[in-house]
Structure formats: C-alpha cells, structure tokens
C-alpha cells in the first residue's frame, strides 16, 4: 500500500492550496481528484474578485496556474474517485485506483449542483438542461431560456444568459428573490428578463432536446407550459460528503463540521472549502482554508512524532 504523510481529496482551489503548502513544508503529499483539476472555478468565464488580478482572470487559467504551482514542489496527483476512508493505525483512503495510506487527510471534495428531480431532467441533460450558464449560455443565442432559482447564483446566471438569449425567464418558488440587492437591481433593469413568481418546475418537456417546461404555481396549484429551448438549474449545492459520514461528523445538511483550524471530529482529518460547514464558498476563502489545513496537518504530524 502506498503511504503518505498527507492525502488531499479534491483538486479545487482549496485542495491545490493545501497541496502547495504541504509539499513546500516537505511532507510527502498526494492529491486525489476524480475529474478536472480546479473544481467548479474552471467554469467561470471571468474571476474578478481574486486578489492580485486587477483586470480579472478566467477560471480555467487561474485553476491551471494553481495546479502548476502546487505540483512544482513535489505534490503527487492521481485521477481517481474516493469511495471512503477507513481507520487503522493510520487512515486508508479507498479509491477506484486502489487504497492509499495516510497519517493525515485533508478533505476538499467540494459540492455538486442540486437537481430538480423532475421527469425529463436527466434525459435531457446536455440537450437543453444545464447547471452552468457560463459553460453553455452561448449555445442559446437568440433563443428563449429559463433559470430556476432566486439566489445569487441564479441571478448571476440569468444576467449571463441575458447577453445571449432573446428572453430569460427566472422561475422562483417564492414571491421575491434571495439574491443580493445589487444583483437584483441589475436583473430588474434588464427588459429581456421576465420573472415567474411562486412557481416550480414539475417536468422538463422534450424528446431529443428541451422544448418547454411544465410549471406549477405553489399557491394555486395551477399548471401551465412555458416554451423554452433551455433550462438552467441554480437551486443550490449538495456537499460530496456522504462517503465520509462513517468516520467524521456532518451537520444536518451533510456539510462537514470543523473548528477554526479546519479540524474535523476525527484526529488528523481536516476539511476545507465548499464541503465544510459555514464555508463562504469563495475562491479566496477556499485558498485560506487550504493553507490553514496544511499548517494544521504539519503541526499534528510534528506533535505525533
């Protein structure tokens, strides 16, 4: 079995920063990522709020720079999906590519887009159903689309789509938005954006591609059909934490509980980024989490020896 001082699960900004700090500290470190290094940030067309880039930078470029810097100091990386952690003398991280032993583990597995869970959603994924306006918005130039949700992400997506689509319907289950005041002001000022209040999606309609939505008013129960070529779902995130539930404490919504040092309920296991409770879910805060966890892991190993 391959043995490391630190294993990091997840290759987003939090995980890459943890890898950078751990490897620079001289720790034998491995980062496991099941998909694309950089996490959700790779989908961002422009990142304007990360310090040091006054003119902004694309999410893909920022993620690439982070990965290059993290691996510069000896961080090993493997593409594999983690399916669990077991505890013996140390920790065994179980993956689709085998098991790896670690004295400490830093969990940076992030979160996934929450789905509507209605008929037609899975069938038409990639054929009009999307969870990323930045990735797919340009495909709907001069077409009518819908955004489901009322928070910051939903309204940001709607504003992005407003640059491409002929009309953007914002479908929200409440009678007012939860997004920040400035975002709301921008949204309400766009004549192409139409708001459908107190409404949920009951079905995504279409055979080979999306042709419309079956809507239901939550107050009256009235059903109606809305013709759109695409639907962008922005109703929140679910943490990728269930495979760790047997070994660390989660809150009622599945987020990992940590203290200010990013330590979990299990000695030597830390959690960072979107997967931990009360995360700000920003790139800058994820990077701070990663640095803190790596320093905490280093101190834990020093005290243990």
243 is catalytic: no
Pair of tokens at residue 127: 């054929």
Q: Annotated catalytic residue: which of 135, 198, 202, 243?
A: 135
Nearest Cα to Cα of residue 141 among 164, 157, 123:
164
Nearest Cα to Cα of residue 164 among 190, 183, 188, 185:
190
CA dihedral 162, 163, 167, 170 (to 10 degrees): -20
**Side-chain half-sphere CA neighbours of 222 within 13 A:** 9
Q: Where are the beta strands (DSSP E) in 108-192?
A: 111-113, 129-130, 144-148, 167-171
Strand partners, 225: 214
Pair of tokens at residue 157: 């997506």
Nearest Cα to Cα of residue 39 among 12, 10, 20:
12
Say how far apart CA 213 and CA 208 lie, in whole Å. Answer: 14
Q: Annotated catalytic residue: which of 136, 144, 274, 289?
A: 136
Say how far apart CA 155 and CA 177 lie, in whole Å. Answer: 9
User: Which parts of the chain fold into alpha helices (H)?
Assistant: 13-24, 59-71, 133-136, 152-162, 181-188, 283-304
Q: Annotated catalytic residue: which of 90, 132, 202, 243?
A: 132
Q: Strands 210-217, 199-206: parallel, antiparallel or unpaired by DSSP?
A: antiparallel
Which residue carries 């200010």 as its tokens?
A: 260
Indicate which residues carry an active-site annotation.
132, 135-136
């Amino acid at each position: 079995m391959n043995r490391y001082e630190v294993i990091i699960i997840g290759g987003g900004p939090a995980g890459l920063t943890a890898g950078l700090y751990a490897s620079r500290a001289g720790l034998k470190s491995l980062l496991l990522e099941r998909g694309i290094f950089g996490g959700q940030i790779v989908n961002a067309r422009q990142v304007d709020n990360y310090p040091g880039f006054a003119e902004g930078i694309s999410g893909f470029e920022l993620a690439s720079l982070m990965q290059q810097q993290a691996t510069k100091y000896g961080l090993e990386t493997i593409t594999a999906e983690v399916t669990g952690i077991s505890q013996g003398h140390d920790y065994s991280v179980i993956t689709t590519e085998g098991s790896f032993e670690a004295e400490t583990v830093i969990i940076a597995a992030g979160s996934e887009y929450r789905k509507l869970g209605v008929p037609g959603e899975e069938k038409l994924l990639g054929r009009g159903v999307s969870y990323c306006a930045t990735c797919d918005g340009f495909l709907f130039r001069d077409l009518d689309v819908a955004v489901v949700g009322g928070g910051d992400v939903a309204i940001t997506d709607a504003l992005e789509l407003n640059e491409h689509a002929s009309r953007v319907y914002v479908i929200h289950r409440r009678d007012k938005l939860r997004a920040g005041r400035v975002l709301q002001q921008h949204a309400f000022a766009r004549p192409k954006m139409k708001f459908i209040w107190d409404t949920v999606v009951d079905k995504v309609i279409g055979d080979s591609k999306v042709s419309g939505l079956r809507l239901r008013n939550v107050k009256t129960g009235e059903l109606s059909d809305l013709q759109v070529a695409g639907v962008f779902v922005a109703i929140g995130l679910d943490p990728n934490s269930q495979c760790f539930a047997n070994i660390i404490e989660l809150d009622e919504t599945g987020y990992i509980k940590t203290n200010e040092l990013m330590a979990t309920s299990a000695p030597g296991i830390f959690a960072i980024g979107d997967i931990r409770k009360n995360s700000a879910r920003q790139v800058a805060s994820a990077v701070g989490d990663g640095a803190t966890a790596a320093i905490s892991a280093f101190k834990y190993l020093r005290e243990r020896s």
